[in-house]
A and B are shown apart, each in its own frame.
Chain A
Amino acid sequence: MDNPALEEFVEEVEEIIEDLEEGVLELEAQPKKRSLIDRIFRDMHTIKGGAGMVMETELAEYAHHFENLLDKARNGEIVCSPEMASLLLSSIDGFRSFLDRIREGGEVNQELIDNTLSQLREFESNAGKNAASPPAEQTPVKEKPQEDATQAEMVEQEQSSSQDKESENNKKNEDQEEAQWDDEDEGEETAYLLHLKFDPEMLGKGSDPILLLKDLKELGDLDIIPHLGKLPDLKNFNPEEIQLWWSAKLVTTHPVEEIEDILIFFQDGKNDVKFELAETPPEDPGLASFGIYDDQDNRDLEQVRIDEAEEKPVPTPELVPNEIVEQKTENTEKPENEIPTEESTKTEPPAVQPKTSPPKQDANKDSGIKTTQSIRVTIDKLDKLQNLVGETVINQARLHRLSSKIMEIDVNLGEMLLQFVEDNEKSVNELQDQILQVRMIPVGSILNNMKRTVRDYATRSKKKIKLEIEGGDTELDKTVTEQLQGPLVHLVRNSMDHGIEDSDTRVKNGKDPTGTISLKASQQEGYVIVEIEDDGKGIDSKVIFDSAVRKGFIDENDDLTDDEIFKLLFLPGFTTTTEVTDVSGRGVGMDTVKRDIEALLGTIEISSELHKGTSTKLKLPLTLAIIEGMMIDVGHQVFTIPLLSVNESLRPIPKQIKKIKNKGELVEIRGEYIPMLRLHNRLNIVPKYKEPTEGLVVVVQHANRKQCVFVDEIVDQGPVVIKSMEDNFIQVPGIAGATILGDGRVSFILDVASLVN
């Protein structure tokens, strides 16, 4: 296919077919919506016209058949039924087959084409039998002249993609209009004023205003006034351009729709074609008999027009700005008319409202919004985007350093550059924030899932439980949100099972028979807090303590605060329930939850008051992709420790360091002895400092275990983007991931769990 016109045609038709398909599907739902039929008709007509132009006669003929069908629908001869919709949809398949042939050669699916056509014939003959009387919308709009006086209504210009009007089509329209007219009784005469201004290049597009005028003339008495104002001198005259425009008055017994049907093909692009109701039916229809082809001097006619204009709001104000006003008399006329026209539009009684244009525009809007609301993007693409933004951030940091260097050489230049770099930094930071925002989804979806869990449990047990949800619109990284579901179900079940008492007990204890579990999500300083609260019996710290002693987790002489006791709940294998239910109590409870939450780089805390209730607080980072990190230096290599795991950092004095034979070193911090790890030994790096008293000790904590980590120094602290080691390599022991530092270098994120053990 090396014919560009053909190529263009195929692309256009592909576009139209999409619109057609959408239109037909909408029409199926709203079979009486005229704007939809019009839209489909236009689409079909454009395909036909285009096909004719590129000499695809078979396709043009095919489209012609369906155009006929749609024309009947427009005239109300056929009501759009589901059968018609499927017929139209199969026509679309036919068009596609034609397009395939044009594009790739070969043959059209003749079977399909023939099938659809025979279906079409069948449908039409069936429809012909029960030829419906025209629906109500079809009855002509007949106005009482007095009312009309102030009711000149501009028909909203509709956007149409039809490009041209072929004489063949005109013929068909004429025939049909004629036929319909014949059926009709002589209606009351209505006068319309038409404003016909065309795209100067219209002739080049295969269309001709004469066709329009001819068609209009078929409808009744047409009184046409040509305007010569823009006509250039003869030497500048281009016969292929239309410089004339026309005003016309049409007196007809035909319904307003028929005028629209003719104008519909011209109400697009650069054409400026409008019509409105005239004040009165003309007393003298004979005026219309002058020839429309005359290029005569039209002074007199202009005068006639002005006379008319004095009575009715002919020139529409909307036109004024765009045109050069040729006649001074006209010029003075227009401002007066501006206001009444505007007002009359508002006070329009419904009867005069043409049923076509406004809903049509609405329909277009509707479908437009539907398609642009959201798009699906794979996480993969987002990751790539995020990588690129990350690169930009790094380059930004490089630029920053560069501008400092330039500053040393040339202060002025350096400052200019710095200014620019700082401006750019704002955009880059914003970009980074936005890209992270894209990954965020409201946590409400999973909170709402709990409703079902609670409902199911409550119906099975004797307990009455109500679930309250707060802050469902709090946003959290999609991955975090998804992985939060499991722990959340666990915690809610725990509350239902161990927390909320049955109604009798609750009443006995002076509580509302219905227990309440509330889920609250909120955002606090870069973290999302999810709280699961119940008003149940609470946790008896004494029971926990005894149980822990029995299981050997603690010594019965240990002195623990309530908080410390509640933390025991997270120990693996710890469970207090003596009975195992299907909901919870299998001893794999809270430690699993804790592990899951920690995998999300979050923390979990339990607080409880006996007989009052229990509250579990989850603190989660907004995103998994970024953590707060502490960058430490060991032997000039920078590692990152998740800040969440860092308790404190200090430079110990010699007497704080205790060496125990075969057990390593301990650091005494406020009476507590914490084992110390020389990170350089673990990482096999030659450090800058040999002794912790020269360097620093970072105290990290993982699952109740503290560990001192001896490093050379702390370099920085801030958010880092986590990159998986496994993406391009393997999981390396002791390393949780990698990140890219401000200078573009890779830094490894230390796995605190492995440091501690």
Chain B
Amino acid sequence: MKSKAKVVMEKNQSNKYLGSVNLSDEDMEDMSLEVSYSEGTRLITFILGEEKYGLNILKVRELISFPEGLTRIPGMPDYIIGMFNLRGLVIPVMDLREKFEMTAEERHEFSVIIIVEVNNKSIGLTVDSVSDVIFVKEEDIQETTELAVNVDTKFIKGVAKTKDEMVILLDIDFLLSKEEFDTLLDDKSEK
């Protein structure tokens, strides 16, 4: 009896093993992304106002539709629109339009929050809509701050040019850096 059971169990295990092989294939793909970072980057692109922005997909934790209840944080500047409950985690949401001092837009059905993970912190970013996942080669990325865009250039890493469009690369690490967060408290004292 035992030996039989054992064989069955081992079969299951080997199935599991196969399963994990499949998984790790995906991991491999992800890793190859990292590896090929020097040659190019996979970006998630989104619309904000008139322009298309992109950020490294590896920073993106998930996309969610606009949550039902956001709780405003007292004393925070307007672009921190509040915190909400994402499966037990309390996550702040930053309104990128507000942050970049664009004109506010009514939220519509395509309003999406991109949950990014930077420095082990998960933060939601509101965008007008998410468009695509694209791959850009290193040589197509132009690291320049001389840009005619509506956004304060300190949050811009560069521009990626694809066949038919231009994607502004957001410097998400800086946008959500400790230094930037510290200014939240200063912003508040200005008010």
Contacts and interface: CB of A to CB of B under 8 A. Distances in A.
A391 interface: yes
A82 interface: no
Contact of B87 (A7, A163, A388, A735): A388
For B68, B71, B92, B122, which residue has the most chain A Cβ atoms within 10 angstroms? B71
Contacts of B121: 727-729
Contacts of B2: 159, 161, 268-269
Interface of B: 1-4, 6-7, 10-11, 13-14, 17, 68-76, 82-85, 87-92, 121-123, 181-182, 184-185, 188
Interface in A696-737: 723, 725, 727-730, 732-735
Chain B interface main SS type: mixed
Interface of A: 4, 7-8, 11-12, 159, 161, 163, 205, 268-270, 386-388, 390-391, 394, 637, 682-685, 723, 725, 727-730, 732-735, 738, 740, 743-748
A11 B14 contact: yes
A272 B30 CA distance: 53
B185 A730 contact: yes
A533 B83 CA distance: 46
16 contacts: A8-B7, A11-B13, A11-B14, A269-B1, A269-B3, A390-B88, A394-B85, A729-B123, A730-B181, A733-B188, A735-B74, A738-B90, A740-B85, A740-B88, A746-B82, A746-B85
Contacts of B89: 387, 723, 727-728
Contacts of A747: 71
Contacts, number: 107
B181 A161 contact: no
A732 B68 CA distance: 23
Given A391-B88, A723-B90, A729-B123, A161 B71 contact: no
A301 B70 CA distance: 88
Nearest to B182: A730
A734 B76 CA distance: 11
A654 to B, nearest CB: 28
A740 B123 CA distance: 17
Given A391-B87, A684-B74, A728 B14 contact: no
A738 B89 CA distance: 10
B3 A268 contact: yes
A160 to B, nearest CB: 9
Contact of B76 (A12, A732, A740): A732
For B88, B91, B92, which residue has the most chain A Cβ atoms within 10 angstroms? B88
Contact of B75 (A12, A637, A732, A743): A732
Contact of A728 (B3, B13, B82, B122): B122
Given A386-B88, A735-B73, A744-B69, 8 more contacts: A4-B14, A12-B10, A159-B2, A268-B2, A270-B3, A387-B87, A745-B84, A747-B71
A680 to B, nearest CB: 10
A11 B3 contact: no
A269 B4 contact: yes
A684 B91 contact: no
Given A728-B92, A729-B123, A733-B185, A746 B6 contact: no
Nearest to B1: A270
B87 A637 contact: no
B14 A8 contact: yes
B187 to A, nearest CB: 12
A723 B75 CA distance: 19
Contacts of A161: 2-3, 6
A8 B90 CA distance: 45
A159 B83 CA distance: 58
